[in-house]
Structure 1
């Protein structure tokens, strides 16, 4: 099996933007908000190029404190973005969300990297940082949905138990859907990347199963911690 990765030249990378340009032109023609889409594309380009250079430096350094610092930035940023659905409560709820994602996703990540995969060294950046990115991003989305739904239900004077039920159900829908669709509708990014790099599809499937369990557990626990801490804050 070929284990080399196909290198993408700058010209080939530019070709990937052909359908992007077509869509942007259609948005302009139909008087849609093409400006925001262009902004999103430019931001995507800058962020990915920057993270490429940053990760190259982090991987080369192989220092545990650098890896921990990167993950702290991830959790901090994810916590702030998660509260975009309840901006009026952002500052008040930030500590709650930060602790929820840190505990719910952090403990799950610790179990996966140290007991399931068995990283050596324990902070191996090539595994730790990508896995952390996956679990924190999914926890961010889940907590964001939970915060929005919980706030909406409580604003209607619904009792907390019912509001908590509705919030958890709504927040977990994307995670459940991704579990149902994986392998049938979609091949997730990690599995696709491993297959493209020449890894056996069976081995890639094993890793993806671990990742899906990690996302399910990390997102679910982050929601639970958020709802618990939110309730404690109310009392």
Structure 2
């Protein structure tokens, strides 16, 4: 059996956009926001093509400062994007989101990279950058869900303590669902990639367990931290 990953030609890659086109047509027929979906797909395409070329350079570099700059860009970007659903409060909540993702995501990234994987050097790009991407993106999603639900509940005059509980529970729904589904409904990305590249499924399973633990921890800590800071801001604004 050939264990090498099959190269996808550009022609074959275009076939993957057929389901995307179907969804865009459905959105258009239903008079929904086609422009936003089209922009998101276009932006995804451009970003991934750029990052593919960019990571080729990054993985060959041996400069800790470059990796730190990349991590900071990831952190700032994820903090800003996380507040997309609360645009009226975006600027005032940015620092809360930044601190929450930095604390939750940064702590988990340190534990995984330095204690679990024992990276040498500590900033080993081929591991550090993808791990940071997974951790910060999941922290971003949990903060985004927490922020949206918190202010939705507060606008319904739900007490702050109860609103925070509801928001935290809502923020963790996607990752908790993925914990239930992994191995039964889905074989996640990292495990799939390793299996396709010829790694033993048992070794791939260990890595996936590590990944599930790190994204659950990062998402939960970041959401809880954000809700604590945002809640303190709500209390202060009422005084």
Map Cα deviations across residues 24-49 of structure 1 (whole Å, 9 max, x no partner): 45555666554443332222211100
Please tell me whether the aligned partners of residues 175 and 216 of structure 2 are also in contact (alpha carbons under 8 angstroms): yes
How much does 1:4 deviate? 2.2
Q: Which portions of structure 1, spanning 4 or more consecutive aligned residues, are displaced by more than 6 angstroms?
A: none
How much does 1:152 deviate? 1.7
How much does 1:132 deviate? 0.7
Supply the distance in 2 between the matched residues of 1:227 and 1:33 (Cα, whole angstroms): 30
Aligned pairs for 1:59-208 (under 5 A) are 59-208=59-208
Supply the distance in 1 between the matched residues of 2:34 and 2:141 (Cα, whole angstroms): 25
Map Cα deviations across residues 197-220 of structure 1 (whole Å, 9 max, x no partner): 111111111000000000111111
| Structure 2, unpaired ranges of 5+ | none
Between the two proteins, the alignment pairs up a number of residues equal to 235
Alpha-carbon RMSD: 1.8
Q: Secondary structure at the match of 2:199?
A: coil
Q: Secondary structure at the match of 1:84?
A: coil
Supply the distance in 1 between the matched residues of 2:25 and 2:155 (Cα, whole angstroms): 41
Q: Which residue of 1 aligns with 2:43?
A: 43
Q: 1:35 to 1:93 in 2, by over 3 A?
A: closer
Q: Which moved more, 1:23-32 or 1:88-97?
A: 23-32
Map Cα deviations across residues 117-176 of structure 1 (whole Å, 9 max, x no partner): 111111111111111111111111111111111112222332221111111111111111
Supply the distance in 2 between the matched residues of 1:127 and 1:147 (Cα, whole angstroms): 30
Q: Which moved more, 1:2-11 or 1:131-140?
A: 2-11
TM value normalised by structure 2: 0.91
TM value normalised by structure 1: 0.92
